[in-house]
């Protein structure tokens, strides 16, 4: 029965991904499930779209935004020089891990930190992974709340205000009532130094 339910959902998920990709290509902002909490997302290479995400969050752009990609190979396109330890961390992690890298490239300048670094997470969650794969670019992922307000752990906790400000709301997993936690965050220096920001 469970398998039948999952197979029944696949066409709807693919249609959702198709619609979300079109909105992203048009410079829009989406609300979507990730490997952690629900996220506000946009094309990570589009500075105007990134600007809108900051406006929705009511947050200054002095705080960087992280991005999702669908595979470790994609990280190389967005970071100039990846310390070798990064590959081990990505491969061995058992829970969502965001790695902050120095020397970001090929991304909207206004989503980077002041020092030019960027947080990238390789998603292992079905929907966000396929979304990144089909969109073929990194996608911004920031928690679906106004800055300073509690982070919603599932779709039902997202405020109507946030929902009203995005261009597309993904239907997939709206009924998921689990309470995932934010990812762990590690900062890597160019020499391979590891600093744990959030466990």
Cβ–Cβ < 8 Å for 139, 17: no
pLDDT at position 2: 35
The answer to whether 36 touches 173, Cβ cutoff 8 Å, is no
Number of domains in the chain: 1
Q: What is the CATH number of the domain that holds 115?
A: 3.90.870.10
Is residue 3 predicted with pLDDT exceeding 60?
no
Of 131, 139, 133, which Cα lies nearest the Cα of 172? 131
Tokens representing 115 are 């020092």
Q: pLDDT exceeding 70 applies to what percent of the chain?
A: 94
Q: Calculate mean pLDDT across residues 53-76.
A: 92
When computed from its CA atoms, the radius of gyration of the chain, rounded to whole angstroms, is 16
**What would the mean pLDDT of 29-38 be, rounded to a whole number?**
96
94-110 CB burial, b ≥16 within 10 A, e <16:
eebbbbbbbebeebbee
Region 47-55 average pLDDT: 97
Residue 88: domain span = 2-198
- In the predicted structure, residue 9 carries a pLDDT above the cut 70: no
- pLDDT of 186 above 80: yes
Whole-angstrom distance, CA of residue 181 vs CA of residue 135: 25
- The answer to pTM > 0.85 is yes
| Neighbouring C-beta atoms of residue 156, cutoff 10 Å | 11
Rounded-to-integer distance, Cα 58 and Cα 123, Å: 26
pLDDT of residue 153: 86
């Amino acid at each position: 029965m469970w398998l039948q339910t999952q197979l029944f959902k696949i066409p709807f998920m693919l249609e959702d991904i198709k619609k979300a990709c079109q909105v992203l290509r048009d410079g829009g902002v989406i609300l979507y499930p990730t490997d952690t909490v629900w996220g506000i997302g946009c094309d990570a290479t589009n500075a105007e779209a990134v600007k809108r995400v900051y406006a929705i969050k009511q947050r200054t752009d002095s705080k960087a935004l992280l991005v999702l990609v669908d595979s470790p190979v994609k990280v190389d396109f967005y970071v100039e020089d990846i310390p070798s330890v990064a590959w081990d961390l990505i491969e061995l992690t058992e829970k969502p891990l965001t790695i902050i890298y120095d020397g970001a490239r090929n991304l909207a300048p206004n989503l980077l930190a002041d020092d030019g670094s960027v947080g990238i997470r390789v998603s292992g969650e079905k929907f966000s992974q396929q979304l990144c794969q089909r969109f073929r670019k990194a996608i911004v992922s920031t928690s679906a709340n106004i800055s300073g307000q509690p982070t919603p752990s599932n779709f039902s906790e997202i405020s109507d205000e946030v929902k009203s400000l995005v261009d597309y709301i993904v239907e997939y997993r709206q009924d998921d009532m689990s309470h995932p936690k934010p990812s762990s965050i590690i900062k890597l220096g160019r020499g391979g130094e590891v600093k744990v920001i959030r466990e």
